[in-house]
Chains A and B, each alone.
Chain A
Amino acid sequence: MKNSKENRSTNKKKNEIGLTRRRFLKLSGVTGAFIWTTHRPIGQLDSPLASPLQKKAQYEEKWVVTSCLNCQGRCGIRVKVVNQKAINVTGNPHSQVSEGKICPRAHIGLQVLYDPERIISPLKRTSSEKGKQIDPQWKPISWDQALEEVSRNLRNLREGLRPHHLLLFSGLNSRSSEDLISRFAEAYGTPNLVTGEGLDWEAERTGNWMADGHFDICAYDLDQTNYILSFGADLLESTPPVSRWLRKWGKFRREKSIRTKVVEIQPRYSLTASKSDEWIPINPGTDGALAMGIAHIIIREELFDHRFINEWTFGFKQYREMVLQNYKPEVVSKMTGIPAETIYRIAREFAQTRPALAIPGKGALAWPGGSSVGYAIRCLNALVGSIDVLGGILYQEQPEYRAIPKVPSDEITKKGLKQSPLDFRGTDRFPASRVVTNQIPQSLIERKPYPIEMAIGFNSNFNMTAPNSRSWEEALKRIPFYVHVAPFISEMAQFADLLLPSTTYLEEWGYDHSSSGAGFAEVRIKQPVIKPIGGSKSIGDIIFLLAERIPGVVAEAFNGIGNCAEEFVRLRTSSFLPWEEFLKKGVWKGPPYQYKKYSTLFHTPSKKFEFVSGNLRALLNKKGRAVREGTEILPHYSRVRWLGDESQFPLILFPYQPLLTFENGSQNYPWAQEIFLPMQGVGWTSPAEVNPETARSLNLREHDRIWIESPFGKIQTYVKISEGVPPNMVCIPFGQGHTSYGKWQKGIGCNPNEVIGVDFDLLSGQSAFFNTRVKIYKA
């Protein structure tokens, strides 16, 4: 028995090859794991249970600091690059403008970079006809050939003593590219460098300049302010720098002891209005009257900052009389459609909750007479003493880049620069303007003051972003030789004779700083995150290459400032940080902001804040124009000038810019497209929002296709019924309606600019966006 038991137990433990059960299990486990790791069918390991794939040998990760360029905010960012592929974007914690935070658009930079429909080599038009629907029949050519063709035309024009017949467009570009472009224009001898600023900011800038001599948009001390009165400013969607607003919104709501109250005044219930404490719908175009009405109450009830008014302002007496006489709250209430009690209440709140801010936005300023509205809102800030104080209006400090040699000039340059600019800036027509973007189509079509023979567009897409697209298309057709420089074939590129592929902002060298917002100066480096895709070259490099092919002063102007974009950036930023440190840190921040610099702050004849604009008086006198003393140089409200007859076009077209609208001229980014309109819960589209009452009276139902017709054209979209729109308005977002390229944008939605008419604030040259009347009917 004993023997057999022993036998059995040994049998159990050992078989012929001496494999125990435990060893077998171990071995099979190892073999299984081996098979598992080596033969890994794609698509079966995506369970959360699967361990992260760690392949050290192939894996190279780095973070590159650079700067975003999807809007004017130009935030400092960091990009995670794994094996030469950019895979993630975060904010740069060193950047203090937005405290290292970024807006959603910055994340989508990845799709800007890897847009599958980017162009990768220079393209030449072979079709002789130009037009929106006409296929240009692009033919790829080499860079040498392309540059030679452009420079040959540039040389011919200059040798023909007509340098001013060159027109340059500049869209959204980094500051370094902007500097190079304007240097090129100056050396070449053309006064015709046109940016998109005439579409966005000129009214605000001119309004500020009238008050205190600073031709700049406002900066705000959002950390300390206790009350925000926003006039038509979509603070959380389109007020630059957006990321700063997004970050500070959290901060001033719940990260300080007193919660900041935000009052949003605008006709439409926007995202910002929904997030504000109070939304006050106002009759479109009457923000100026409201600002004056508020001033009336503050002055009559003696709620203004006596000390600031007495010591640092000029012309208060005249302003006071005018306001007390003309803008009684009851009168203003009739104009604006806001109950008088509400005006009293917000005026008192605004004056008594200090520091308070009154913020002008595009919705209030992009009207004829917009600069005066901007002036009126600036004056509100002065009344409550919110000028250059904690929690008040700040004056943006500009970074001082290393100076470079002055642009050399010869006779041709001098003569060219003396010519009147194509957009009539600074002339009698637009006395205070610095650029009148939307005047260009008319000048081109009428060939006045002179014909344009050649144009170069750098990342511009004005026939999408400026009112009345059709006039732009007509005008672009008439440019004999148009060169477009961009990473993709935008709507404006459709009209090009030659297309040069530029890099996106993630592949170029540059430096950048935000549009006004933070007060203190801050500069960010831009460095290539990956090698340029395809054969694209950065705009900086393209300008250097072009300049060296134009012998004489142009080549000279680009000599000794580095021979390429990288060296130029290195030279210009050497005043901030050592190069290596800058490349690593990415951000240079200027000294902390100094408040209350009143003795040196105001650039006006009286050296004080002016309620009666001495700057404007001097300018108008210089132009030989009679000044209407009572009104013209004081902030005032003028009645809206509508485009279109009310009886025929009963509704007002009120477009708006959602946060996920890109400002680089493309919208071919699915991440942005699918969540384009959070308030409506839809993407991939741009519906026309109408009030239910309006829809009922016109017999329209949700999702009905409709035409929106103005005196200038018609577009088709569908109805979205919304309670947030007043009964006399139609609201359509900007950003859609692309026609030229892109699987993710072409043919999606409509572009309200196609039906908006051309009008200006005649003082500043600001394009009006909101004064077009339309009618809608079933398609």
Chain B
Amino acid sequence: MVIDLDKCTGCQACTIACKVENNIPHGSPEEQRLRREIYWHKTIAVSRGKFPHIRTEILPMPCMQCEHPPCVTVCPAKATYRREDGIIMQSYRRCIGCKYCMVACPYGARSFNYKAQETKPYHRQDEPPNQKSWGPWPFPTRTQGVVEKCTFCFHRIDQGIKEGKKIGIEVVPACVEACPSQARTFGDLDDPQSQISRLLASRSSFRLREELATHPKVIYLSR
């Protein structure tokens, strides 16, 4: 995934679209204070300088889907693993909730689910989502006590491949689809002919915390 920071408007449509798509529980003032909110995608602001010479960079951050993911290395339960296409996945059935991966992740891309389903409804405040009304949905319910993370909307990709659609053009993750300024591009980084590779070749780009050699696959185009 490539995110063009020159086009990005910091509107956070990506964060909200992610919550809608993946049925991620919303937080509360108390949870924010305890830093217990669950975000698969977040938008952070990095400021430097003094008034009036100040510079703030807004960074939309999904999981970086590293080539060398520290979270996979440290997981004692083999609950987090790398799919063949490079997506880092989390198996909630294997996860023992030790949060080692959360400590290891240099990008803070992982969240621990503290919520008991019965007591805390999700975004559908009238009732917890039930399978009947949600239909084919990757995450109709959730598990308390496991670590969660962004999946690059793998369910969309898998479905798209099954239907023979073009990944990156016809099928994209929810955050890419929702981005109003079209700052995000999704596609195959290994294919030099793909839209995303061409875009990357045209501009100067950077990755977050490159010095850690995690080789993130979310790449930012600088302004």
Contact = CB atoms under 8 A, between A and B. Distances in A.
A251 B179 CA distance: 12
B89 A48 contact: yes
A60 to B, nearest CB: 8
A722 B139 CA distance: 39
Contacts of A87: 20, 133-134
B65 interface: no
B201 interface: no
Contacts of B136: 52-54, 59
A interface majority secondary structure: loop
A53 B43 contact: no
A221 to B, nearest CB: 18
Contacts of B54: 269, 279, 723-724
A284 interface: no
B26 A679 contact: no
Contact of A723 (B21, B51, B143): B51
Given A250-B181, A674-B26, A723-B54, A47 B12 contact: no
Given A116-B126, A660-B12, A274 B56 contact: yes
Given A48-B151, A250-B7, A679 B45 contact: yes
A53 B131 contact: yes
Contacts of A571: none
B181 A281 contact: no
Contact of B180 (A59, A246, A724): A246
A727 B52 CA distance: 10
A275 B26 contact: no
B99 interface: no
Contacts of A107: 13, 16-17, 20, 178
Contacts of B57: 274
Interface stretch (B27-35, B103-111, B210-218): B27-35
A102 B180 CA distance: 6
A115 interface: yes
B183 interface: yes
B180 A250 contact: yes
Interface in B46-81: 47, 49-52, 54-58
Interface residues of A, number: 79
Interface in B123-180: 123-126, 131-144, 151, 154-155, 159, 177-180
B117 to A, nearest CB: 6
A108 interface: yes
Contacts of A281: 51-52
B11 A103 contact: yes
B15 A675 contact: yes
B141 A45 contact: yes
A253 B7 contact: yes
A691 B178 CA distance: 35
Contact of A724 (B8, B56, B181): B56
Contact of B123 (A46, A85, A110): A110
A722 B125 CA distance: 34
A44 B6 contact: no
Interface string A74-95: 0000000011110111110000
Contact of B93 (A49, A83, A725): A49
B26 A236 contact: no
Interface string A593-620: 0000000000000000000000000000
A274 B58 contact: yes
Contacts of A103: 11, 13, 180
A203 interface: no
A249 interface: yes
A530 to B, nearest CB: 11
Contacts of A274: 10, 45, 55-58
B124 to A, nearest CB: 6
Given A46-B142, A55-B135, A111-B123, A674 B37 contact: yes
Most buried by A among B54, B58, B181, B182: B181
A682 to B, nearest CB: 8
A616 to B, nearest CB: 36
Interface string A551-594: 00000000000000000000000000000000000000000000
27 contacts: A46-B141, A48-B154, A50-B138, A52-B136, A52-B137, A52-B138, A53-B140, A55-B135, A59-B136, A82-B135, A87-B20, A111-B123, A246-B9, A247-B181, A250-B4, A250-B183, A274-B55, A274-B58, A275-B58, A279-B54, A659-B11, A670-B125, A671-B20, A671-B26, A678-B43, A683-B32, A723-B49
Interface of A: 42-50, 52-55, 58-59, 61, 82-85, 87-91, 98, 101-104, 107-108, 110-111, 114-116, 236, 243, 245-247, 249-251, 253-255, 259, 269, 271, 274-275, 279, 281, 659-660, 670-672, 674-675, 678-685, 691, 693, 723-727, 744, 748
Given A98-B180, A251-B182, A674-B26, 19 more contacts: A46-B143, A48-B91, A53-B137, A82-B134, A85-B133, A87-B20, A87-B133, A88-B20, A107-B17, A236-B9, A246-B180, A249-B7, A274-B45, A659-B12, A671-B16, A674-B32, A679-B58, A682-B32, A723-B51
